């Protein structure tokens, strides 16, 4: 399998979404998983195989495209987000080794940290529920 193919235009926070507004620290697209850089407070793509713990710490999902320094809305854990991707209901999804990406559990491999980003509630909606066991495979 591979990372989810997300149609950015279809990424939409649902009614229960907890949204934080801030600034992007890199070029981001809708549906990418982000961390919040402590030094700047900016959002950047999270990555499960980064050597830096901060980069592996999922903070939320970018809800729209943004460039470095521009405003960004981020959905936080507990939010439901229509993904613009084909999901399998009841399946857990994980942070990918590709910065910002989301992948099925089977794609998390040696050298990666298995960081759950959520579970599919349907074929189109992902419930964000972050969990990092702080383990490297």
- Residue 1 confidence (pLDDT): 53
Average confidence (pLDDT) over 39-61: 94
Q: What is the residue-averaged pLDDT of the chain?
A: 92
SS3 content of the chain, % helix, strand, coil (to 5): 5, 35, 60
Average confidence (pLDDT) over 116-130: 95
Average confidence (pLDDT) over 28-41: 97
- Residue 137 confidence (pLDDT): 75
Average confidence (pLDDT) over 64-83: 96
- Residue 120 confidence (pLDDT): 95
- Residue 40 confidence (pLDDT): 97
User: Helix or strand or coil: residue 67?
Assistant: coil
> Residue 73 pLDDT > 80, yes or no?
yes
DSSP states of 51-69: SSHHHH---EEE-S-B-TT
Cα 119 to Cα 137: distance, rounded to the nearest angstrom: 21
Cα 14 to Cα 93: distance, rounded to the nearest angstrom: 18
Cα 129 to Cα 115: distance, rounded to the nearest angstrom: 10
Cα 41 to Cα 59: distance, rounded to the nearest angstrom: 11
> Cα dihedral sign for 85, 121, 62, 93?
negative
């Amino acid at each position: 399998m591979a990372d989810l193919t997300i149609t950015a235009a279809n990424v939409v926070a649902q009614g229960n979404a907890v949204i934080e507004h801030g600034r992007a620290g890199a070029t981001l697209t809708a549906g990418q998983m982000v961390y919040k850089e402590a030094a700047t407070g900016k959002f950047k793509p999270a990555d499960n195989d980064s050597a830096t713990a901060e980069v592996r710490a999922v903070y939320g999902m970018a809800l729209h495209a943004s460039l470095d320094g521009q405003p960004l809305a981020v959905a936080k854990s507990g939010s439901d987000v229509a993904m613009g991707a084909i999901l399998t209901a009841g399946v857990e999804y994980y942070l990918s080794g590709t910065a910002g990406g989301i992948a099925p559990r089977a794609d998390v491999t040696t050298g990666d940290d298995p960081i759950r980003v959520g579970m599919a509630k349907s074929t189109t909606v992902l419930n964000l529920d972050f969990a990092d066991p702080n383990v490297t495979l």
